[in-house]
A = this chain, B = another copy of it.
Amino acid sequence: MKIICRKNDLFSSINIVSKAVASKTTMDILECILIETDNDRVRLTANDTEIGIETYFDAEVMEEGQIALEARMFSDMIKRLPDSDVSIETFDNMKTEIHCEKIHFDIQGKSGEDFTRLPDIEHHHEITLSQFDIKEMIRQTLFSVSSNENNKLMTGEQIKIEDNTLMITSLDGHRISLRRMALQEECADIEVIVPGKTMSELLKILPGEAKDLVTLCFSDKHILFRFGDTRIVSRLLDGKFYNINQIISTDYEIKLTVNKMDFIRSLDRSTLFVKESDRKPIMMQTHGNLVDISIHSQMGAMDDQLMGQKEGKDITIGLNPRFMLDALRAIDDESVTMYFINDVAPCIIRNDSETYLYIVLPIMIRKNI
């Protein structure tokens, strides 16, 4: 193989596929990036078997072929080259030479034959969205994916299409995050669970311009994200996601609206008195439109007061301040509205159009605190 390309084209492409390079593996080939010629373009592929990414860039192909290069070394070398033409040439025994101006690198490549290529996805279902929209929906839900591998389904996000509405949901047993968006085009119903790691990498790779599009294709086992010259394929998690409709009630006894930033700052202060691993609640207590926020722990105590707008009776409820913060920080609105039934029912944070909905389960507090 021999190709000549622009350093910046090559390096951008390496950055994209690097997200799918395996980091801890006994299979050396998974730590490589596969370089393959394809007419007058070059395809880079990385695949850690959970998530696979391929992307194309333009190059002058002098000699067709393929080579697998150790990803970290390859990336570090190209990064340190001047912004100029780069040639990559392979020789016997997979020896590879990289040239740029006066600089000359020699490294040992591996046979591309051993590389696991991306699965071919049958395009049964397909929707096309703005990159900005999908990124926002992921960013605003991904935080409540569980990191506990014991409950595999909770480590993923549900992508669901129903009645031409796209919903992304995640939950970890203590809280639920849900974003909804009406789709412009007619679309069949679908329901899949995508690993949290895939969503996290997608956030990093998708440029996210509102005008740029991304197409999602669904097969039984995989999801494909296609945009520009790049394809990301991920395995799906196998199983039936939780039915959250029974928890999402539109009934409420108390409706409380507060300034979001004031609430965030107060909760942030209260976390000083909660140890990292602890589940110590803050106590939130309304007195008319006044909202007392307090926490008392071994480390000390905080009392704070916000001004809100309340409908319904007063409430005293214990909530995990970190869970509340995660939800509030995902909301772009200036003020947020919480709905309560009583001190043992979930706290529901949602907007009127229900494009977002966050549920945080309360923590029982002793009334004599």
Interface residues of A (CB under 8 A from B): 73, 76-77, 80-82, 102-108, 265-266, 268-269, 272, 299-306
Q: Which residue of B lies closest to A270 (CB)?
A: B80
Using A77-B272, A80-B268, A265-B80 as known contacts, say yes or no to A102 and B300 having CB atoms under 8 A apart: no
- Chain B residues with CB under 8 Å of A81's CB are 269
Q: Out of B73, B269, B300, which one reaches A108, CB within 8 Å?
A: B300
Distance (Å) between the CB of A62 and the closest chain B CB?
21
Given the complex of chains A and B, what is the CA–CA distance between A108 and B305 in angstroms?
22
Q: Out of B82, B106, B108, B269, which one reaches A80, CB within 8 Å?
A: B269
- Chain B residues with CB under 8 Å of A80's CB are 265, 268-269, 272
Q: Are A303 and B104 in contact (CB under 8 A)?
A: yes
Q: Other than A102-B305, A104-B304, give 6 A-B pairs with Cβ distance below 8 A.
A: A73-B299, A81-B269, A82-B265, A102-B304, A103-B304, A105-B300
Given the complex of chains A and B, what is the CA–CA distance between A265 and B300 in angstroms?
52
Given the complex of chains A and B, what is the CA–CA distance between A301 and B103 in angstroms?
11
Distance (Å) between the CB of A199 and the closest chain B CB?
31
- Chain B residues with CB under 8 Å of A102's CB are 304-306
Given the complex of chains A and B, what is the CA–CA distance between A302 and B300 in angstroms?
59
Q: Out of B73, B104, B108, which one reaches A272, CB within 8 Å?
A: B73
Q: Are B269 and A301 in contact (CB under 8 A)?
A: no
- Chain B residues with CB under 8 Å of A108's CB are 300
Q: Out of B265, B300, B304, which one reaches A106, CB within 8 Å?
A: B300
Q: Out of B77, B299, B302, which one reaches A103, CB within 8 Å?
A: B302
- Chain B residues with CB under 8 Å of A301's CB are 105-107
Given the complex of chains A and B, what is the CA–CA distance between A244 and B207 in angstroms?
55
Q: Which residue of B lies closest to A292 (CB)?
A: B102
Given the complex of chains A and B, what is the CA–CA distance between A110 and B106 in angstroms?
63
Q: Are A269 and B77 in contact (CB under 8 A)?
A: yes
* Residue from A81, A266, A272 whose CB has the most chain B CB atoms within 10 Å: A272
- Chain B residues with CB under 8 Å of A306's CB are 102
Q: Are B107 and A300 in contact (CB under 8 A)?
A: yes
Given the complex of chains A and B, what is the CA–CA distance between A77 and B301 in angstroms?
11
List, sorted by A's number, 8 A–B pairs whose CB atoms are closer than 8 Å: A81-B269, A102-B306, A103-B269, A103-B302, A104-B303, A104-B304, A105-B300, A108-B300
Distance (Å) between the CB of A295 and the closest chain B CB?
10
- Chain B residues with CB under 8 Å of A305's CB are 102
Given the complex of chains A and B, what is the CA–CA distance between A108 and B103 in angstroms?
62
Using A102-B304, A304-B102, A305-B102 as known contacts, say yes or no to A107 and B269 having CB atoms under 8 A apart: no
Q: Which residue of B lies closest to A72 (CB)?
A: B272
Given the complex of chains A and B, what is the CA–CA distance between A306 and B101 in angstroms?
11
Distance (Å) between the CB of A191 and the closest chain B CB?
42
Q: Are A302 and B272 in contact (CB under 8 A)?
A: no
Given the complex of chains A and B, what is the CA–CA distance between A77 and B306 in angstroms?
18
Q: Out of B73, B106, B302, which one reaches A105, CB within 8 Å?
A: B302
